[in-house]
Amino acid sequence: MMSHKAPFITFEGGEGCGKSTQIEILFRHLLQVGIDVVSCREPGGTKGAEEIRSLLLHGDGERWTPTTEALLMSAARADLVEKRILPQLEQGNWVLCDRFTDSTLAYQGFGHGLGYDSITALNHFTVGTLKPDLTFIFQLNPELGLARTALREGGKDRYEQFDLSFHTKVEKGYEEILKKNPERCVGINALLDIEMISQMIFEEVCQRFEI
Ligand SMILES: Nc1ncnc2c1ncn2[C@@H]1O[C@H](COP(=O)(O)OP(=O)(O)OP(=O)(O)O)[C@@H](O)[C@H]1O
Ligand SMILES: [Mg+2]
């Protein structure tokens, strides 16, 4: 049972696994069938949160300690939730979000080792009772994901500079999140082709939310 008036769907997974590609396809698909939907990305999505995003994604890996990083992510998220996600859901619009609380669990909790319990507490403080109704977790060997992002224009962001062992811990974190939340989370084999993944996602969404 949803605690808000419209579905809130998040896309999660390591670098280059296809989240942004698929959120864009689902967004267009939902518009085509007449659903009022907005899409946002984390960190970012409001003026203030986009400013925090550039602090987080630029500069060298050592720029922030893991704790500062977790707090900056959460500060950006609190702004996005209060100013955009909750008001949109309240109006009955669907919200799709590229990364959410599970990213902080996987990256700061598992990748940087801050731990599941402390990040879970931080996430609660940040978003209150808001929880995604459905989360797609893209599963991909981090080596392949990083190879995909290396092909993209614009150079490496801060996270793409962290070493493979960091990204392997992130991937393990996502596996753990998937196991702990079997109702909310659906694993996606990110090796499948874009078209096939988008069909699977749309079918899952249609089934869950009866469209
Ligand atoms: N299923 C797929 N098979 C092969 N390549 C893909 C697939 N999905 C996306 N790609 C390509 O992989 C690259 C990364 O995709 P995308 O930007 O969607 O990933 P992302 O998860 O949003 O990455 P990031 O975590 O860096 O934001 C892009 O060049 C995209 O075209
Ligand atoms: Mg992306």
| In the chain, domain spans | 8-209
Quote the ligand 2 centre to 104 CA distance (angstroms): 15
Mutate which of 15, 20, 27, 160 for ligand 1 pocket (most atoms within 8 A of beta carbon): 20
Going from the Cα of 41 to the center of ligand 1, the distance in angstroms, rounded, reads: 15
The two three-digit tokens of residue 190, written as one number = 């990110």
Closest ligand 1 atom to residue 151 Cα is: 29
Spell out the alpha helix ranges (H) of the chain.
19-32, 47-57, 66-80, 86-90, 101-104, 116-127, 142-150, 164-180, 194-209
Q: How far apart are the first and last CA of the chain?
A: 16
pLDDT recorded at residue 40: 96
Question: Of all atoms in ligand 1, which is nearest to the CA of residue 13?
Answer: 21
Determine the pLDDT at residue 1: 63
What atom in ligand 1 is closest to the CA of residue 197? Answer: 1
Q: What is the mean pLDDT of each run of 10 residues along the chain (211 residues)?
A: 88 97 98 98 96 93 94 98 98 98 98 97 97 98 93 81 94 98 98 98 97 87
Tokens of 38: 């907005």
pLDDT value, residue 150: 87
Fold of 8-209: Rossmann fold (3.40.50)
Give the separation between CA 121 and CA 208, rounded to whole angstroms: 28
- pLDDT for residue 160: 83
Distance 83 CA to ligand 1 centre (A): 28
Task: Output the pLDDT for position 30.
Answer: 98
Specify the residue with its C-alpha closest to ligand 1, atom 16: 18
Residue 151's pLDDT is what? Answer: 86
CA 112 – CA 65 distance, rounded (Å): 9
Q: Which atom of ligand 1 is nearest to the CA of 157?
A: 26
Q: What is the pLDDT of residue 24?
A: 98
